[in-house]
Structure 1
């Protein structure tokens, strides 16, 4: 297929899908025909396939080979993934919701809408300019040559300035500060002080000569923004300050760990604040800094991480002119408030939504759920879940012979109790949380400052209370062993992303079915077997079943160890082994559920026509495996040194290489990479 034709099909898919994403769900069915939807989905799938790659040698590259050409990562966006588009769709729909002018249900909704409207009010933002920020950051000597034409170095108290900015805006300048759960005690929080997050990331990007171009781009971007928003200061001044910012951050980066793979406990030590005062003296008076931020003396121990950072910071403060420190502080405030970002660009709606997500995610999800709740999608979700659940129940009866009878019965009881739960938030609680937050029309930066002050105080107050269970951002279904539920985030329920009535069922089972099966199996793996059907921490496996599971799990370690090499690193670990077990089991269960659905279809000819797509010469079964693989299309930038989980290409190939059905559908010969002689199976 020639490049021109390929690009035409891709353009058609993107135009239609983008249009669909921006349209309210209740209007979509009326505006788009079945043929257009199926054509768009087919064009999208075809756009990512690299047909020149042999499917039996590297199926991930076959299914996702063109992804990186179409959605390349970069230094500023080091990871580009298909699943990230789900969040992009959520952002676009939220922007449509917030500007629609519809009636809002409560005061929390109204505050979100006011914030959004003030953010997208370009006229008001440009008229006020930096004035709200400068008036807020009216600290003695804080704005050299801008707020104060005569700036006196000996009067500049850098630590007081950055301390007050941290207390009020939550911005980490030169010193990073966070409230974290104690590593050993479950009922207390501690302060963690150390390195702040630097814009470019790790040590390598600041100091390695191979990243000279990235650093130059970073410096030039700062200079361009400073000149744009301080035109009276001149281009030369903007370039000088930009160079000062880069120089300081390069010096700060020398205190970062050399090994990016170290865990937090490995590079952390506990110290009393008085010890920190003795270690770093007046150059970096951490006792004074913490008192300024928390507004009281800290007597308990704090975590210091990484261990070498503050010794290096002493050198930075000692060797850097105060004017440069002041300019750096000024820039970090502007950067934290995103003054030079997309706020002043046309069509900044999505950017404004992302600001709300960063500060008030629960409130936005609650509003989104009430506006976009689609009962048809919920019903289809429940229907697919019932099929996955039924398939696994049948396998417990007939195929998992390695389980003892007693453990098998307990497994059935636990499976029966697993429920899907849509993550929601109490309206009253969300309204109460925002009661003291003041949001005014047409005052974006004043509103932003108010939100930051509100958020910072809430986070600092956590130091004086018991840790709450972490609530990470959830975009995909997640199994919770403590209540034996699969939690479904609101972001996940969006039409035409994973499934649609007009798409082949093969794609629904390959994506939605697989994700549900994957989380279901977490209730039955090495960790899940420690929780019973009610969520109590009680092992319900007998010794024989546990021993057999562990023996079979060794196959995944032995088979995959040499295949878990990615960019020269061997990434196999106990965590990767468990993920391999879940991936292999989930895709097998999802495929069996699809086969069961197909075997129960009455009108085969009519359904078969819908199980294929135009432009794609693949069988429904092949389409299932392609749909599963494309769920994980991703591109990592060369600067990514550490992977939090098994990279997606390894997950796709590892799972499918264990399936005989996959090898049969793609006619892989025994001995091919995707059809090894020895296969591993647990579920």
Structure 2
């Protein structure tokens, strides 16, 4: 039967109405999502701002004044920082990725997932308790925690036990052991013997009476964990063992250097193992220790550092009861294996991810890249980089940078044109090969953990007999590599809605991402970068007049504007701090000019202007740029930190902003105020 024209018209009208309704619903949903994202970002920015602070007196305190209330540092976590949240987000996303339960073709991914699943199997962990660890760690005479007839002091061989634990678990107990590149001979590794990393760090914290509270907190933490490890042993026993741990580490700390700033070379000497045997005898038989750990006799010289430590260790072993040494060894094993940690808590998944990061960081990053690599974010990254690079290029070819001679200017342009962004990725096939001999099974957490530790330690010790490989430092933010003339971008950095998003104002993108890219770009053109040419070869491409003018202008940062380089009664000024301030000031100026150029080229300004502001915040786009720049450096430091070795973030933020006339103009700071000094310093 044929439909009538009237019915066809009704049908077409119904289809059109349905289509329009669906389109309207999609638009509403999209606008709703956009509104929620913008509102959330505005709420985050507002939460950190302290409006009681004067923007012209201390802009860092204005932008980040409430950070420390929301993210207070403590002795257990002496530093909290906004940028650290990037790593926290990576951990949470990795936990979601590892537990999604899908089939995995990649063998390395499968092993990561098996370990993660075994770690988060709370029921199995509760049932197993300490038994797997007790079976693995043979104390020869019984576990010292069980103070009964099963503990036989005469059978306790402390050196053999700590050596076997170092060989199998990689834990340094009483004796520190590492494989390090030779200080003098290229292409060779050596063993470094001496002090292990103690929990509280420096000699001062262990022995100075002004740190009594920190030591009490440390002891309380040990007591609390021992209750979790061995609840049947009682409070008095846990108190006694915790005191023994603290006493031993205080005694060990006497062998640490008084000056924590001494370099490794300044506190190190070379010795043959036979000399160590003669020096320390049977109390600390290092020849025997190394033979057990490395599984062969060592005839080459080793590094001993610090020089006083092992002699002090002899006194510790001689003066300390065996039971206390056994208890200390037991504690270090339990602490190393993180038996309690955050297991059986709501943060269990994140804790399990951090265990994977501890041992298999590259493998997890490769898996993360395959699952979360967002082409839109990569495009945004490249677009912002092009804006930053083009802005600096225009500056170089103009006469704005008067201190650069014409010949040096041409070399600078050539070098800039060669700089590329490079995503730090890993070869999947190589990573899979590395894990081929690692045996992991679902549901067997402690077996898996011990297998990973043994695998990791074996690879570490094998490095003694091969040429040194360049260490791959953990990178979370863009980093300039002078030998390749690239800016390396870690996978962790490419996470949506942290620094930037399509729904956020471009002001925030340029104030954060733009600044970070400009900062690393300028490393190719500062006092260090001038030693490397556009191909990454060590060749100085600056002429003498440019070098002299740069160095003279750089003194402005020390003599005029950065005389207040003080933070918590410490004078932070140094050549490194001066270079940092030059990079910060230059990068901020470049990022701001790039943002201004972007804004000038916007076609429909009225439509874009609504997106360049945020709800809840009564700030102009330019002001949002400066607030975004400052808030990426929000930080809190615990009072227990003895010394700062990098320029603290408040000084970096205020120093860079005070050098920028546009900042003072935007916030109407009077000339001569702290954030608008009469003398400003400028190189880039």
TM-score, length-normalised on structure 1? 0.93
Cα offset for 1:45?
Answer: 0.8
1:277 aligns to 2:277 (yes or no): yes
Looking at structure 1, the residues matched to 663 and 350 of structure 2 have their Cα atoms a distance apart, in angstroms, of: 40
Question: Hey, what does 1:216 align to over in structure 2?
Answer: 216
Looking at structure 1, the residues matched to 392 and 446 of structure 2 have their Cα atoms a distance apart, in angstroms, of: 53
Report which stretch shifted further, 345-354 or 414-423: 345-354
The alignment partner of 1:621 has SS state of helix
1:198 aligns to 2:198 (yes or no): yes
Question: Hey, what does 1:25 align to over in structure 2?
Answer: none
Contact 1:260–1:641 (Cα < 8 Å) also in 2: no
Cα offset for 1:584?
Answer: 0.7
- Residues 32 and 321 of structure 1: is their aligned pair in 2 closer, same or farther, counting only changes over 3 Å? farther
Report which stretch shifted further, 113-122 or 398-407: 398-407
1:496 aligns to 2:503 (yes or no): no
Question: Hey, what does 1:441 align to over in structure 2?
Answer: 442
Cα offset for 1:347?
Answer: 4.2
Contact 1:261–1:642 (Cα < 8 Å) also in 2: no
1:397 aligns to 2:397 (yes or no): yes
Question: Hey, what does 1:128 align to over in structure 2?
Answer: 128
Looking at structure 2, the residues matched to 558 and 605 of structure 1 have their Cα atoms a distance apart, in angstroms, of: 45
Question: Hey, what does 2:154 align to over in structure 1?
Answer: 154
Question: Hey, what does 1:22 align to over in structure 2?
Answer: none
Cα offset for 1:187?
Answer: 1.6
Report which stretch shifted further, 508-517 or 141-150: 141-150
Cα offset for 1:646?
Answer: 1.1
Report which stretch shifted further, 230-239 or 549-558: 230-239
**After superposition, what is the alpha-carbon deviation per residue over 1:486-526, rounded to whole angstroms, capped at 9, x for unaligned?**
11000000000000111110000000000000111111111
Cα offset for 1:276?
Answer: 2.1
Contact 2:142–2:150 (Cα < 8 Å) also in 1: no
Cα offset for 1:128?
Answer: 1.4
Contact 1:90–1:491 (Cα < 8 Å) also in 2: yes
Cα offset for 1:280?
Answer: 1.9
Question: Hey, what does 1:355 align to over in structure 2?
Answer: 355
1:52 aligns to 2:52 (yes or no): yes
Looking at structure 2, the residues matched to 366 and 373 of structure 1 have their Cα atoms a distance apart, in angstroms, of: 10
Contact 1:510–1:625 (Cα < 8 Å) also in 2: yes
Looking at structure 1, the residues matched to 161 and 200 of structure 2 have their Cα atoms a distance apart, in angstroms, of: 24
- Residues 307 and 561 of structure 1: is their aligned pair in 2 closer, same or farther, counting only changes over 3 Å? farther
The alignment partner of 2:75 has SS state of coil
The alignment partner of 2:563 has SS state of helix
Alignment of 1:639-650 (within 5 A): 639-650=640-651
Cα offset for 1:180?
Answer: 1.3
Report which stretch shifted further, 589-598 or 32-41: 32-41
The alignment partner of 2:610 has SS state of helix
Question: Hey, what does 1:244 align to over in structure 2?
Answer: 244
1:452 aligns to 2:441 (yes or no): no
- Residues 376 and 450 of structure 1: is their aligned pair in 2 closer, same or farther, counting only changes over 3 Å? same
Cα offset for 1:67?
Answer: 0.9
Contact 2:341–2:351 (Cα < 8 Å) also in 1: no
Cα offset for 1:35?
Answer: 1.4
The alignment partner of 1:523 has SS state of helix
Looking at structure 2, the residues matched to 148 and 426 of structure 1 have their Cα atoms a distance apart, in angstroms, of: 54
Question: Hey, what does 1:9 align to over in structure 2?
Answer: none
Contact 2:141–2:150 (Cα < 8 Å) also in 1: no
Looking at structure 1, the residues matched to 31 and 363 of structure 2 have their Cα atoms a distance apart, in angstroms, of: 31
- Residues 443 and 48 of structure 1: is their aligned pair in 2 closer, same or farther, counting only changes over 3 Å? same
Contact 1:134–1:147 (Cα < 8 Å) also in 2: no
1:330 aligns to 2:292 (yes or no): no
Looking at structure 2, the residues matched to 32 and 127 of structure 1 have their Cα atoms a distance apart, in angstroms, of: 48
Cα offset for 1:598?
Answer: 0.6
Cα offset for 1:366?
Answer: 0.3
Cα offset for 1:566?
Answer: 1.1
Cα offset for 1:32?
Answer: 6.2
Looking at structure 2, the residues matched to 262 and 638 of structure 1 have their Cα atoms a distance apart, in angstroms, of: 23
Looking at structure 2, the residues matched to 372 and 303 of structure 1 have their Cα atoms a distance apart, in angstroms, of: 44
Looking at structure 2, the residues matched to 419 and 532 of structure 1 have their Cα atoms a distance apart, in angstroms, of: 14
Contact 1:506–1:594 (Cα < 8 Å) also in 2: yes
Number of aligned residue pairs: 655
Contact 1:671–1:677 (Cα < 8 Å) also in 2: yes
Contact 1:268–1:305 (Cα < 8 Å) also in 2: yes
The alignment partner of 2:220 has SS state of helix
Question: Hey, what does 2:265 align to over in structure 1?
Answer: 265
Contact 1:359–1:455 (Cα < 8 Å) also in 2: yes
Report which stretch shifted further, 57-66 or 501-510: 57-66
Alignment of 1:571-582 (within 5 A): 571-582=572-583
Question: Hey, what does 2:18 align to over in structure 1?
Answer: none
**After superposition, what is the alpha-carbon deviation per residue over 1:422-452, rounded to whole angstroms, capped at 9, x for unaligned?**
1100010000000000001100010000000
Alignment of 1:76-155 (within 5 A): 76-141=76-141, 143-146=143-146, 149-155=149-155
- Residues 285 and 32 of structure 1: is their aligned pair in 2 closer, same or farther, counting only changes over 3 Å? farther
1:422 aligns to 2:423 (yes or no): yes
The alignment partner of 1:88 has SS state of helix
Cα offset for 1:148?
Answer: 7.7
The alignment partner of 1:474 has SS state of coil
Question: Hey, what does 2:66 align to over in structure 1?
Answer: 66
Looking at structure 2, the residues matched to 110 and 388 of structure 1 have their Cα atoms a distance apart, in angstroms, of: 41
Question: Hey, what does 1:185 align to over in structure 2?
Answer: 185
Cα offset for 1:304?
Answer: 1.9
Looking at structure 1, the residues matched to 54 and 313 of structure 2 have their Cα atoms a distance apart, in angstroms, of: 53
**After superposition, what is the alpha-carbon deviation per residue over 1:13-36, rounded to whole angstroms, capped at 9, x for unaligned?**
xxxxxxxxxxxxxxxx97961111
Question: Hey, what does 1:14 align to over in structure 2?
Answer: none
The alignment partner of 2:185 has SS state of coil
Structure 2: segments with no counterpart, 5+ residues: 1-28
Question: Hey, what does 1:596 align to over in structure 2?
Answer: 597
Looking at structure 1, the residues matched to 142 and 646 of structure 2 have their Cα atoms a distance apart, in angstroms, of: 43
Alignment of 1:538-577 (within 5 A): 538-577=539-578
Cα offset for 1:263?
Answer: 2.5
Looking at structure 1, the residues matched to 93 and 263 of structure 2 have their Cα atoms a distance apart, in angstroms, of: 37
Contact 2:142–2:152 (Cα < 8 Å) also in 1: no
The alignment partner of 1:475 has SS state of coil
Question: Hey, what does 1:233 align to over in structure 2?
Answer: 233
Contact 2:561–2:680 (Cα < 8 Å) also in 1: no
Contact 2:562–2:655 (Cα < 8 Å) also in 1: no
Looking at structure 2, the residues matched to 231 and 604 of structure 1 have their Cα atoms a distance apart, in angstroms, of: 67
1:681 aligns to 2:657 (yes or no): no
Cα offset for 1:482?
Answer: 1.1
Contact 1:564–1:572 (Cα < 8 Å) also in 2: yes
Report which stretch shifted further, 324-333 or 657-666: 657-666
Contact 1:116–1:352 (Cα < 8 Å) also in 2: yes
- Residues 585 and 145 of structure 1: is their aligned pair in 2 closer, same or farther, counting only changes over 3 Å? closer
Contact 1:42–1:616 (Cα < 8 Å) also in 2: yes
The alignment partner of 1:101 has SS state of coil
- Residues 470 and 669 of structure 1: is their aligned pair in 2 closer, same or farther, counting only changes over 3 Å? same
**After superposition, what is the alpha-carbon deviation per residue over 1:272-295, rounded to whole angstroms, capped at 9, x for unaligned?**
222222222221122221222111
Contact 2:438–2:452 (Cα < 8 Å) also in 1: yes
Taking only aligned residues, the RMSD between alpha carbons, in angstroms, comes to: 1.6
The alignment partner of 2:133 has SS state of helix
